[in-house]
């Protein structure tokens, strides 16, 4: 059976390379996204079987994009494609509703395997990471809808924080999120109060440290 896949990664080389490899294996790459927001839009339009989702992307990161896609296109499965094996990041991704997690240093065959498994409705975890999970928790992943809070920062606030740290002005953020400028101002003020950081530069550094935005 044909598997229809969307690739989301901010690095063109990876997008194109992955597409080339998947197509060799007979997987149909129906669309390519270069950030989380594009991934959401394309997932809604194309209703793919699987999304290969990079975690750190500009504009809207992979964790948030995963949560939104899981909500709006529930039958679409998501595999996180990451460079990091930090437990914190993995937890976030599965909490957001990912079905698989593989590393960029994994072999392509493993990635192909993951797509097959996830498409069948199973979970897939890179073996090295799976070992870490079984040791610490015992139980595997459960489908949690609500994302764990991040230092008291709400989902929307985190989204605003990312855009602020990426250099967007309030007006542009308001347009992107289709709300009023006043709303964004309120969010930004609340973020600053919660974090105790009162400058754009400070917020930017915080967002970089926390992996909310990348330096690329």
Partner DNA sequence: TTTCAATCAGGGTAAACCCTGATTTTTGCA
Partner DNA sequence: TGCAAAAATCAGGGTTTACCCTGATTGAAA
Cα separation values, 183 from 94, 154, 198, Å: 30, 14, 18
* Contacts for 98 with CB less than 8 Å, ≥ 6 apart: 53, 66, 78, 79, 80
Q: How many CB atoms lie within 10 A of CB 3?
A: 18
Task: Find the part of the chain contacting a second copy (CB under 8 A) among 59-67, 136-144, 152-160, 205-213.
Answer: 205-213
Structure tokens at 43: 């997932």
171 is a site residue for DNA (CB under 7 A): yes
Dist. CA 84–CA 111, nearest whole Å: 16
Structure tokens at 195: 């974090």
Name the binder of 24 from DNA, a second copy, none, CB < 5-8 A by kind: a second copy
Residue 119: CB minimum distance to DNA, A: 29
Of 183, 195, 210, 211, which lies in the binding site for DNA, with binding defined by CB under 7 A?
183
Extended strands (E) in 42-157:
50-54, 77-82, 100-103, 124-125
Name the binder of 151 from DNA, a second copy, none, CB < 5-8 A by kind: none
185 is a site residue for DNA (CB under 7 A): yes
Of 91, 117, 166, 185, which lies in the binding site for a second copy, with binding defined by CB under 8 A?
166
Residues that bind a second copy (CB under 8 A): 10-14, 16-18, 20-21, 24, 81, 83-85, 103-108, 111, 164-169, 197-205, 208-209, 213, 215-216
């Amino acid at each position: 059976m044909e598997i229809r896949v969307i690739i989301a990664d901010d690095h063109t080389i990876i997008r194109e390379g992955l597409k080339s490899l998947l197509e060799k294996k007979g997987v149909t790459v129906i669309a390519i996204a270069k950030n989380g927001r594009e991934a959401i839009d394309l997932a809604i339009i194309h209703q793919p079987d699987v999304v290969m989702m990079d975690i750190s992307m500009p504009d809207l990161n992979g964790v948030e994009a995963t949560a939104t896609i899981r909500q709006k296109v529930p039958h679409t499965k998501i595999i996180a494609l990451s460079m990091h094996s930090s437990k914190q990041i993995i937890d976030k991704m599965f909490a957001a509703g990912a079905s698989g997690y593989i590393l960029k240093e994994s072999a392509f065959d493993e990635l192909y395997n993951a797509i097959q498994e996830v498409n069948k409705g199973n979970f897939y975890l890179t073996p090295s990471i799976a070992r870490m999970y079984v040791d610490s928790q015992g139980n595997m992943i459960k489908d949690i809808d609500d994302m764990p809070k991040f230092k008291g920062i709400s989902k929307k606030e985190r989204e605003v924080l990312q855009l602020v740290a990426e250099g967007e002005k309030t007006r542009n953020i308001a347009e992107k999120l289709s709300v009023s400028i006043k709303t964004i101002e309120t969010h930004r003020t609340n973020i600053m109060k919660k974090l105790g950081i009162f400058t754009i530069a400070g917020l930017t550094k915080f967002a970089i440290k926390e992996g909310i935005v990348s330096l690329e």
